[in-house]
Amino acid sequence: MILASFSRALAQWGDARFRRVVALGVGLTLALLVALYALMIGAIQWLVPETTDLPLLGPVGGLDTLLSVGSIILMLLASVFLMVPVASAFTGLFLEDVVDAVEDRHYPTLPDARPQTLAEGLIGAVNFFGIALGANLIALFLWPFAGPLVPVLFWGLNGYLLGREYFTLVAQRRLGRTEARRLWRANRARIWGAGVLMAAPLSIPVVNLLIPVFGVATFTHLFHRLNTPRHTR
């Protein structure tokens, strides 16, 4: 069921609405990361003087430049963690377009769903960003103790978050939030598994910018498969 849903999502890559959301999500995500990096460089150059007196070494120049170069490496490492909440939150803003594209092609007989308002999209995106960022920061501190289980920690944590948030967002368009949460709880293991499938590629640079859109599409298919007994298909 999970792989079938993911395969159907991948098969719709040619849809213009998919590409539009990907372009918007990638653009906004990169813009935010560039802005954060610029702020980091500015802070280093403001706080660290061009020449610094170090014990035993005396005056040392270029320390600000050295720290600026090191910040590139730091930002690349940080982007692995930041990309999950940032890209996913931005995609959540345009979730409606992705779900509509999937339902128009694969479930054309469905009645119109309750549309997500701009306020709901913003609140959902902010909530998810806060939860995902907080969870990944906690995981970041646990990484030195995880050893070879680091990928398992990353995939398991983000798989749970992505599965819960995206499935609920998709389901509540047709069931309401209370019933959507009930359906998630009844199928949480399967939804978590689908979330892990989404989370694994999130650790791959560039690819992780595309995954949130395919995640929304996958959970749309998964929702309709799990909700079939309730005659929504």
**What pLDDT does 169 receive?**
84
Between these two residues, 125 and 233, which has the higher pLDDT value? 125
pLDDT-derived band at 75, boundaries 50, 70, 90: low
58 forms beta bridges with 54
% of the chain surpassing 90 pLDDT: 10
Between these two residues, 231 and 120, which has the higher pLDDT value? 120
141, containing H or E segment: helix 118-146
Q: 10 Å Cβ neighbour count for 160? A: 17
Domain of 197 in residue numbering reads as: 2-230
Average pLDDT of the residues in 108-131:
75
Q: In this predicted model, what pLDDT tens digit does every residue of 48-68 receive, in sequence order?
A: 555 454 444 444 444 445 455
Average pLDDT of the residues in 161-168:
85
Average pLDDT of the residues in 91-105:
83
State both tokens at 161: 């978050």
* pTM for the structure as a whole: 0.74
Q: How many domains does the chain have?
A: 1
